[in-house]
Chains A and B, each alone.
Chain A
């Protein structure tokens, strides 16, 4: 069940990123380029995803366990601290430079292997650097 859920949601996620144009870094950068030729497509992607997910949380709240029988493992909606903001700001800078965030970058391994591997390999290096530099 757990494996089936992971495969099904992964497939839908990858297909959605591709259909929504999010695997095109030029399009994502055009969304972030509010002072240039702005392309609002990403706002429709975000809107569509939020439209589905918002009511799902109402269902989740009424469930004791997930469908595979495990308890929900959700992040505590805790405080807004410096780590969250500095990390998010850094992510935003990298996202703006490349037009890539983790989902579309990994999905692009299927379709644009060489540039995607350059990005993903560097992303792994950045994640490892964080693990070494900042103790969890």
Chain B
């Protein structure tokens, strides 16, 4: 299915992917009593978060990588276009790392789990990173730093 006005959109793929992500977060919440926020789980898996290293978080992160590999193996390579300016890519990565720790979450923790819970904190966080993401893309296009 395509949407005439947005020829690049993949609505069905997006919806199916979203349902799977929702199912993953649901299983994690009801099964182990915790939020499936990837930035937090990554920090606990690697020992970056204060406290003991979390083995279950490490398994989640490894399985996340395996899940993407599995789809790639079955369906053939998924389209992925990264920016080729590596210093800028690294700068962006560092800002994401710092920001997600400071803001206690990312698109999964705040965007999916927190918003669906109607948490005011998560709704505020999600609106903030959406707006700043959009502004950043606009500014980068204006100064000629594209994908």
Contact = CB atoms under 8 A, between A and B. Distances in A.
Interface of A: 1-3, 5-27, 29-30, 32-54, 56-57, 59-60, 63, 65-68, 70-75, 77-80, 83-103, 105-112, 115-116, 118-131, 134, 136
Contacts of B92: 93-95, 97-98, 100, 119, 122
24 contacts: A6-B63, A8-B31, A14-B68, A17-B21, A19-B71, A21-B78, A40-B3, A41-B9, A41-B10, A45-B15, A49-B22, A74-B33, A77-B119, A84-B125, A90-B103, A92-B128, A94-B96, A95-B129, A101-B108, A102-B42, A110-B65, A119-B82, A124-B48, A126-B96
A124 B46 contact: yes
Nearest to B54: A6
Nearest to B125: A88
A49 B35 contact: no
Interface of B: 3, 6, 8-11, 13-36, 38-39, 42-43, 46, 48, 50, 55-57, 59-72, 75, 77-83, 86, 88-104, 106-108, 110-117, 119-122, 124-126, 128-138, 140-141, 147
Nearest to A50: B116
A78 B125 CA distance: 12
A60 B75 CA distance: 35
Given A92-B130, A102-B96, A9 B31 contact: yes
Given A9-B27, A12-B21, A46 B91 contact: no
Contacts of B18: 16, 20, 44-52
B70 A53 contact: no
Contacts of B32: 1-2, 5-6, 66-68, 70
A49 B112 contact: yes
For chain B, what secondary structure do more than half of its interface residues adopt (helix, strand, loop), or is it mixed? Answer: helix
B64 A90 contact: no
Contact of A50 (B112, B136, B141): B112
Contacts of B23: 12, 16, 52
Nearest to A63: B30
Task: Specify which of A27, A32, A44, A127 lies most central, judged by the most chain B CB atoms within 10 Å of its CB.
Answer: A127
